[in-house]
C-alpha cells in the first residue's frame, strides 16, 4: 500500500520538491496527495501545481480567530486522509484541534540539532552561539515549540566564514536527504513512539 502524505509549506518548498521527486520513483512507498499552505504566492504552491498535486491555502488572517483557522486547517488536511502529515517549512504553530487529530502522524523538520536552537532562527542562533557543528532534526510534533520526540538527526559543520544564508543552505541540502530517507523508512517499515524515543525497525 502506498502511504498518503499531506505536506504543509510556507516558502520555497525545496523539501516538498524532494518528497515529490522521491515519491515519483518506484518503491518509495509514499506519495504526496496534497499540499497545504498558510499563505499564497509562494514557490512551494507552484511546485505542487507543476507536479499535478492538489493544494489548499488557509490564512490565519481570513478567520475570525485562531480557533477557526485551526479547525479549518484540520478539516482541509483530514479530507485527504493522510497516513503522515509532513510540516516542511510551515511557518505557523499548530492549534490544539490539529495536534489532537494528527497526533502520532505529524512530523516536522528543524534546521538545528534539537534541543539546541529551537524556534524560528535555528541557523542564526547556532552561528551566534559559535558552535562548530549544527544540523537538522526530524521530530514528532507535540504541543511545544520544536519539543517532540526526535525521529532522526544529521550533523552539518559550521564554516568560519558562514553567514545565516550559507549555513542554512548547507543544512537544507542535508535536510532534504534526511527527510526523504526517513519518511520513506517510516512508511515502508512502520514506526513506534515509546516515550521520547521513535523506533523505526
135 binds ligand GRF (CB under 6 A): no
45 binds ligand GRF (CB under 6 A): no
Phi and psi at residue 117, to the nearest 5°? 55, 55
| Sheet strand arrangement including 192-194 | 55-57, 30-37, 3-9, 84-87, 106-110, 133-140, 150-157, 197-199, 192-194
Q: How far is CA 100 from CA 31, 142, 157, 196, in A?
A: 23, 9, 36, 18
Of 59-67, 106-114, 146-154, 183-191: span binding ligand GRF (CB under 6 A): 106-114
Return the number of the residue (92 or 110) whose C-beta is nearest ligand GRF: 110
192 burial class (0-12, 13-18, 19+ CB within 10 angstroms)?
Answer: exposed
Closest contact distance (angstroms) between CB of 15 and ligand GRF is: 3
Q: Closest residue (Cβ) to ligand GRF? A: 89
Member of 5, 13, 48, 117 binding ligand GRF (CB under 6 A): 13
Return the number of the residue (9 or 33) whose C-beta is nearest ligand GRF: 9
110 binds ligand GRF (CB under 6 A): yes
Q: 170 forms bridges with which residues in the sheet?
A: none
Residues that bind ligand GRF (CB under 6 A): 9, 11-16, 44, 88-89, 109-111, 172, 175
Amino acid at each position: 500500500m502506498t502511504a498518503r502524505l499531506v505536506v504543509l509549506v510556507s516558502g520555497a518548498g525545496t523539501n516538498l520538491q524532494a518528497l515529490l521527486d522521491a515519491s515519483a520513483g518506484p518503491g518509495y512507498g509514499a506519495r504526496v496527495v496534497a499540499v497545504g499552505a498558510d499563505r499564497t504566492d509562494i514557490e512551494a504552491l507552484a511546485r505542487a501545481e507543476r507536479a499535478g498535486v492538489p493544494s489548499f491555502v488557509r490564512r490565519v488572517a481570513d478567520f475570525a480567530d485562531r480557533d477557526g483557522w485551526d479547525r479549518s486547517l484540520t478539516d482541509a488536511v483530514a479530507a485527504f486522509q493522510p497516513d503522515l502529515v509532513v510540516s516542511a517549512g510551515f511557518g505557523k504553530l499548530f492549534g490544539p484541534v490539529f495536534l489532537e487529530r494528527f497526533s502520532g502522524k505529524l512530523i516536522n523538520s528543524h534546521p538545528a540539532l534539537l534541543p539546541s536552537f529551537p524556534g524560528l532562527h535555528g541557523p542564526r542562533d547556532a552561528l551566534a552561539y559559535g558552535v562548530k557543528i549544527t544540523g537538522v532534526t526530524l521530530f514528532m510534533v507535540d504541543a511545544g515549540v520544536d519539543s517532540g520526540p526526535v525521529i532522526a538527526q544529521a550533523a552539518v559543520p559550521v564554516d568560519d566564514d558562514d553567514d545565516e544564508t550559507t549555513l542554512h543552505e548547507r543544512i537544507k541540502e542535508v535536510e532534504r536527504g534526511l527527510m526523504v530517507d526517513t519518511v520513506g523508512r517510516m512508511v515502508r517499515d512502520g514506526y513506534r513512539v515509546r516515550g521520547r524515543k521513535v523506533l523505526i525497525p
